Structure 1
């Protein structure tokens, strides 16, 4: 038993090492597979109407880019039209904060405020090397993100174009008797990933609607734009919700004052608590057949190990592993049943083999 545990631990360590070395390749592939679960239904429909695979994929990709561009064009005018007003209000807000700091109960003098500003400037000047290093690091991260995005788009194109040929090729490469098991596992994992994307979209939509209604009622500028940003941010766990919520509170603070901003903050916290503790775990546990506690633990582990990307990929990866374990348990139970009853025939397995032979 001890030898088996050591072997499993070594295997996990080797897997983690290989994953770390090949992460630059693995990440675009994982993202492309998730994107394909969203884009495959329209691609399949276009192909069923007689459109060539490459043309169908290009049409859907162009449509997806058009949708994203449409959302951006819908948000941009409101931001441009109200940016000047918000800038003026921000300046007035800074003056108010300075007056508040100079009045009771703090009674900070103007000399003390100027001294604090000078101290901040001195700190920034002394840390210029670190800031420059961080800037170049940020530029490198942005470049890496662009490369990952481009690779993801290319991999998505070929997966959508040649994806239907992958399973038959894999069947021939694996051979019997593993071919039917691999095909069944891929089908189940694909269905699970599709459920994850649909659930995430539903959760983000609920967040955007509830927060958007609150912003409209409170008269916060850019309410519709902030609601759209909230919906988009819902697909980026942790950071997306934090940035979208912080932006809404900042706009409310600048435009309507601190009381309004506190109310907006309360609405956002309430909605996020409802999402994180009730809606998301419940829906994802239903769509992925995972317990809510496992969903929360997977997100925490993924965020701790790989940051934002890890938090985003943690749940679908955990669900895929759960699919594999459940299928393994089914096969063990089936073999145990056949061992107890040699004359037992599994109609599901027979049907799978028949469909496989028919496909071939």
Structure 2
């Protein structure tokens, strides 16, 4: 009921805001960098641009993942002879944008329709498909897509999503991967900054000249 509507609203809202952030990212980054100290501006700009790219890649990866789920659902629903296979696949697409629980909610709604139009065979086949596909998506498809999109290891992606959803619900699940990617990028750039700022100790120390 209300929880499902709130989940969809939160998911769509965050994805739309992410798209706006990616679209206006360069302008915001330039404004922020110009206000920083000159010796830090280059590293800050590099960090922010990498984070913006990671967020954009995450949104693209989420859309790709939802598209794969919708196509798989559409093919199966068409084989089962379900009416409105296209709209039902579209429901799967939108709910699949929500990590962890979205696919379950979308599959449940489609299952209700199948209970009325193709019971019991269609409902049983759809239920088995939904359970198997969600496991494949959660442990294989999503981690691999987001690894390539955000350069985060699949295990870290899985842990980030599980922790985010456990602590903050749907919003936490949606933000988990971008936050994890941003933290990883920030730490990497900070280490580079520290390394570049350290004095070069490899050069031999010249002894003082005689008579001094």
What band does the TM-score fall into relative to the shorter chain?
A: 0.7 to 0.9
- How many residue pairs get aligned? The number is 191
1:215 is aligned to 2:199: no
Question: 1:307 is matched with which residue: 147, 169, 173?
Answer: 169
Correspondence for 1:233 = 95
For CA contacts below 8 A with separation 6 or more, give which structure has more relative contact order: 2
Correspondence for 2:18 = 34
Correspondence for 1:339 = 200
What is the alpha-carbon distance in structure 2 between the residues aligned to residue 191 and residue 315 of structure 1? 13
* Structure 2: tracts of 5 or more residues without a match: 1-12, 204-212
Question: 1:184 is matched with which residue: 42, 46, 50?
Answer: 46
Could you say if the C-alpha distance between residues 261 and 33 of structure 1 is closer, same or farther in structure 2, counting changes exceeding 3 Å?
Answer: closer
| TM-score computed with the length of structure 2 as normaliser | 0.82
Question: 2:180 is matched with which residue: 301, 318, 321?
Answer: 318
Deviation at 1:243, TM superposition (A): 1.8
| Residues 137-286 of structure 1 mapped to structure 2, 5 A cutoff | 160=24, 164-286=26-148
Deviation at 1:37, TM superposition (A): 5.1
If you compute each CA radius of gyration, which structure gives the higher value, 1 or 2? 1
Is contact 1:221-1:252 (8 Å) kept? no
1:221-273 CA-to-partner distances (Å, cap 9, x unmatched) read: 22111101111111122342122100111111111112220101111122212
Correspondence for 1:64 = none
Query: What RMSD, in angstroms, separates the aligned Cα atoms of the two structures?
Result: 2.1
Deviation at 1:31, TM superposition (A): 6.0
Greater helix proportion = 1
3-state SS of 1:174 partner: coil
Is contact 1:200-1:235 (8 Å) kept? yes
What is the alpha-carbon distance in structure 2 between the residues aligned to residue 32 and residue 211 of structure 1? 24
Is contact 1:221-1:251 (8 Å) kept? no
Deviation at 1:286, TM superposition (A): 1.8
Deviation at 1:32, TM superposition (A): 6.2
* Structure 1: tracts of 5 or more residues without a match: 1-28, 41-159, 343-360
Deviation at 1:173, TM superposition (A): 1.9
Could you say if the C-alpha distance between residues 217 and 32 of structure 1 is closer, same or farther in structure 2, counting changes exceeding 3 Å?
Answer: closer
1:62-109 CA-to-partner distances (Å, cap 9, x unmatched) read: xxxxxxxxxxxxxxxxxxxxxxxxxxxxxxxxxxxxxxxxxxxxxxxx
